[in-house]
Every structure is written in C-alpha cells, then in structure tokens.
Amino acid sequence: MNSLQASISGLQVALPAASKTSASTEPSGPVKLSATDVKVRYGSNEALHGVTVDIRCNEVVAFIGPSGCGKSTFLRCFNRMNDTVPSARVTGAIMLDGKDIYDPGVDVVLLRAQVGMVFQKPNPFPKSIFENVAYGPRLHGLASTRGQLDEIVESSLRRAGLWNEVKDRLDAPGTGLSGGQQQRLCIARAIAVSPDVILMDEPCSALDPIATGIIEELISELKANYTIIIVTHNMQQAARVAQRTAFFHLGNLVEVGPTTQIFMNPKQKQTEDYVTGRYG
Amino acid sequence: MNEKHISSQFDADLRGISALVLEMGGLAESQTAQAMYALTNFSVETADQVLVLEDRVNAMEVEIDLELQRIIAMRQPTAGDLRLLIAVTKASANLERVGDEAARIARTVRRLVTTGVSSRMRLPVSELVYGADLAIAQLRRALDSFARMDAEQAVEVLKHDDQIDREFDGLLRKLITYMMEDPRTISSCIDLVFVAKAIERIGDHGKNLAEAVIYVVKGTDVRHTSVAEVENVVR
C-alpha cells in the first residue's frame, strides 16, 4: 500500500448529522396561556370567530393581519381589557396556567398585574419617572419598605433598558422623556408588578426606527423571563422578534406556526398573500 | 404566483428579472446549438460567434445578480417571492456555466481547425450530436418549466437526466474504440471526450434549473433526492 492509500485509509471523516431546520421545530415549553373557541361580539357584530391557540412560556408570539382582523380584540381578551368596553361580549375559555381568567372568583386587578399591557401610544402617568414605576408595586403591596421599592424601581428600569438614561433624574416627569424612552418607561411600569405575561399592542408604531430597534432588542432579552404577545402591523418586526406568528383575517385565526415557516413557506394561501403583499 | 402585489412596481420587478433569466437561457441555448454546429462543420466562424455570445451571457449574469440584490434590499421578499429570487440566482449561475461549456466546445473547434487536425484526420464528431440534442432539449424543457413555473414539466427534466449520462458513457466507449483503432487520433479524441463531458454538464445544468423550479412551486428543496421522491413532492 503506497503512502497515499495509507493516509486515505487512516482518514476519518466525521459528517455532521443532518439537522432539522428551525422552521420545522415546534415550541416545546409548557403552555402559559390557552384560548379555546374564543369569540368576541361588539353588540350584534361578531368580531372574532372562535379562536383556539396556545401560548407557551417564554416565547414571543406575534399576531399579524390587516386592520380590523381582530388581532387587538383577541389580545385584549388575555387581560380582560374587553371588560372595559360596554358592548363587548367574550365567550369561550381563556386559561392562564390552567385557570380560567373569566372565573367569577378572579380578581381582575390582580390579573392585569400578572398579564401586563403596553399600548401603541406611550402613556406614562403624569408623575415622576420614579413614581411611574413605583405606583403599581405600591398599590399591590409588593414592597414594605422604601428600600425595597427603590430596588423594584431600579431593577424594573434596568430590565427595560432605561436605567442608565434616567438614573440621575428619577424625579423628572415621565412625560418629559422621548417617545422611545416613554415606551420603555411603560414597559418598566408593567414589569414592576412582576407579570408573567406582557401584552404589547403595536408598541413601536409611534416610534422612530432607532427607538423601535431598541425596543425589539429589549423584547428579545425580556423573553427569558416573560411570555410576550405582540400585535404588530409591521411584518418584518414579527419576523425579527417572534418565535411564532399567528395570522388573523376577518376575525379568524387563519394560520399559526413558527415564524420562519410563516415567512418562508406558509401553508395557507391567505397567509402567503398577506406576507408577500398581495393582500387586497 | 400569478396574482398581483399591491405594489405594481414589485410585480414589474419580478416579471422583469424572470424575463432576464429567460433571455439569458435563450442565449445559452443558442450558444450550445451554435457550438455543436461549429463542431460538426469545423467552422471557426461559428465558433467565434459562440465566443462573442459568451461575453453577453457573462454580462447578463452580473446584471441579473445586481437586480436581484436591489429587489431583495428594497422589497424584503418573503415566501414564494423569496423562493423565486433564490431560484433566479441559481438559474443565472447555471446558465453562465452552460455558456462556459459552450465556449469550451467552441475553443476546441478553433484548436482542431487552426492546428490542421480536422483536415488531416476523420474525427467522429457526429457521434456527439445525439447527446448534444438531448442536452439542448433538457435545457429548453427546463427553461419552459421556469417560464411557466410548471413543476410537472420540471420533473420530466429530472427523469431524462439519466439518458444523457448513459449517452455520455456510450460515447466514451466509442471514442476509446476509435483511439485503439488509430492511435494517431488519441490527442484529438481526448479533446472530444472533453467536449462530450461539456455536453453532459450542460444537461446537468438543465437539471439544476428544473430543481430550482420545483423549489419555487412546492417550497421543497429536491436537490440530492431520488426522482421517485421528487415525483411524490410534485404530485
């Protein structure tokens, strides 16, 4: 055997095992929120027609779809914000950690601390930065000393990526911050009451691209500790931040799946039409 | 994929780049046909025309890739649109290689003629015609399937690929026999082996194009899978 043959026979080639693409893997964590056949009527008009979907722990799920498709209506079911709309009627079951949130024994105020919400237009309280964040914990009795409250405020502002920008002016009014900073203040406010879930209804629509980028980066970090549902009309945002995406159309959940699948090879033609811009 | 985007400019962009691919395909087909004509007729003039076309084919590859980059940057295409653009980049690369193979044949013809070989001895160039016709037919079928985004026609291209490989094997045996009968032809027969290989490669590029069409239509990458498995995907 010549030296070439010898070196070839001695060569061990390790081939990489074929790996499943991330597009084909389904999330595997425990279910945090589940919706079963949820319908919402406003008066005589049914806006949401029987939606069933599970949201798993520590995932970011995006709800996308054209205006009026029911995504925000559905989002508001998870913390019973639809209760504040007199004509709204919600049927079906929504479970948080296996417990029905519409059970008569549920404390809605507590629910809304556990399932926090951030809105499209930043809406800080007309209070100082400190008070914006401290208000919730104080109300819920989460701190018994000023020191504990300080800690909660600092940790929430740090988690929201705002601490370094405001630590020297905590007494300044929250409304004096820029749009992007105000939105992060609202996120800090939501975080301060130790939620499990954060609902975000088009949180970046009113922000410039840089502020948007900062918030998207924040969402990626937050998912380690929270479960996040984000309604967005910016499809590329869904592609950037969400592990799974749900497409709504005219009150129906048309398709839900891994974000890569929704954007690379959606199963439903309606979904394909929407994500490629053929809608209409 | 026939329905319109809200943005008519996006539609125009996608139609435009597909048209460029088909134009490039037409040139590559032409080049191949002319290269074979040059070979069977030992025509240096036709061989030179092939080399002129080569420049155009190469320029089109650059033009298509530039346009591709622009569309991707401006439109962030997704799903079927994204798959189409990925197929376009594969098509332009494969068609450019077809052009290279045709140019190789043309340069061989020039060499055989200008060195006087073709006038000194009888070379079995006609043996290569059948294989070349198969390869050109494959390319044409693949380009048709691309034009119509027809996955079934693309599968037909994959099914016929074996035929070209078998033809090449047969050709090799014939040329070996030729060389054994007359060792003076060895050098030029080796040139013809390379021409036969170029033809076989052209058939392969047609196959690659067909696989890209199936990818666009079905969303499944069928490269390196058996024809039977591909038929399942397309059915």
Mean pLDDT (whole number) for B28-53: 96
Indicate yes or no: CB of B79 within 8 angstroms of CB of A264.
Answer: yes
How far off is chain B from A19, nearest CA to CA, in Å?
A: 15
Q: In this predicted model, what pLDDT tens digit does every residue of A243-273 receive, in sequence order?
A: 999 999 999 999 999 998 999 899 999 999 9
Give per-residue pLDDT as tens, B166-175: 999 999 999 9
SS3 B115: coil
pLDDT at B164 over 60: yes
Q: Note whether A273 contacts B: Cβ–Cβ < 8 A.
A: yes
CA distance A212 to A114: 25
Residue A19 has pLDDT above 50, yes or no: no
Q: Looking at beta carbons, which residues of chain B come within 8 Å of A236?
A: 76
| pLDDT score of B39 more than 70 | yes
Residue B82 lies in a domain: yes
Tally of domains within chain B: 1
Q: How far apart are CA B202 and CA B98, in angstroms?
A: 5
> What ipTM was estimated for this complex?
0.73
Q: Which of B141, B188, B181 is nearest to B161 (CA)?
A: B141
Q: Is residue B1 part of a domain?
A: no
Rounded to an integer, what distance in angstroms lies between the CA atom of residue A230 and that of residue A3?
Answer: 63
Q: Is residue B175 a contact partner of residue B192, using CB atoms and an 8 Å limit? A: yes
- Token duo for residue B8: 């008519």
Q: Using 50, 70 and 90 to split pLDDT, how confident is the model at A20?
A: very low
A135-151 pLDDT, tens digit each: 999 999 999 999 999 99
- The reported pLDDT for the residue numbered B119 is 86
B 137-196 residues inside an 8 A Cβ radius of A:
none
d(CA A275, CA A272): 5
Share of chain A above pLDDT 70, in %: 90
**Beta partners for A128?**
A173
3-state class percentages of chain B: helix first, strand second, coil last, to nearest 5: 85, 0, 15
- Residue owning tokens 């497409």: A247
How much helix, strand and coil, in percent to the nearest 5, is found in chain A?
40, 25, 40
Distance CA B82, CA B67 (A): 14
Instruction: Report the C-alpha gap between A260 and B159 in whole angstroms.
Output: 32
Q: Is B11 near chain A, with CB under 8 Å? A: no
How does strand A244-249 pair with strand A60-64?
parallel
Tens of pLDDT, residue by residue over A32-45, are 999 999 999 999 99
Looking at residues A66-91, what average pLDDT do you find?
95
Confidence bin at A28 (pLDDT 50/70/90)? confident
* Cβ of residue B81 closer than 8 Å to a chain A Cβ: yes
CA distance A273 to chain B (A): 8
Q: Out of A235, A239, A276, name the one closest to residue B81 (CB).
A: A276
Tokens of A113: 């601390």
- pLDDT of A276 higher than 90: yes
Contact A245, A224 (CB under 8 A): no
Task: Give the full edge-to-edge strand order of the sheet including A60-64.
Answer: A115-118, A197-201, A227-231, A60-64, A244-249, A252-258
Coil, strand, or helix at residue A15?
A: coil
Residues of A in contact with B76 (CB under 8 A): 236
Rounded mean pLDDT of chain B?
94
| A167 SS3 class | coil
Per-residue pLDDT at A21 exceeds 60 = no
The domain locations on chain A are 29-275
Q: Which residue has the higher pLDDT, B146 or A11?
A: B146
Q: Which residue has the higher pLDDT, B137 or A264?
A: B137
Q: Average pLDDT in the B102-106 region?
A: 97
The stretch A189-215 carries a mean pLDDT of 94
**Confidence band, pLDDT 50/70/90 cuts, at residue A8:** low
Task: Decide if B82 touches A, using CB distance below 8 A.
Answer: yes
Exposed e or buried b per residue across A120-159, where buried means at least 16 C-beta atoms within 10 angstroms of its C-beta: bebebbeebbbbbbbebbeeeebbeeeeebeebbbebbeb
- What is the pTM assigned to this prediction? 0.81
- CA angle in degrees (0–180, nearest 5) for A187-A189-A195: 80
Asked if pLDDT for residue A109 goes beyond 50, the answer is: yes
pLDDT-derived band of residue A6, with 50, 70 and 90 as boundaries? low
Does a structural domain hold residue B215? yes
Long-range (24+ apart) CB contacts under 8 A made by A105-113 are A108/A80, A108/A83, A110/A140, A111/A79, A111/A80, A112/A79, A112/A80, A112/A81, A113/A140, A113/A193, A113/A194, A113/A195
Looking at the domain that runs over A29-275, which CATH code has it been given?
3.40.50.300
| Domain limits for position B167 | 8-234
Mean pLDDT of A47-71: 96
Pairing of strands A88-96, A31-42: antiparallel
Find the CATH number of the domain harbouring B79: 1.20.58.220
Of A275, A279, A280, the CB nearest to B78: A275
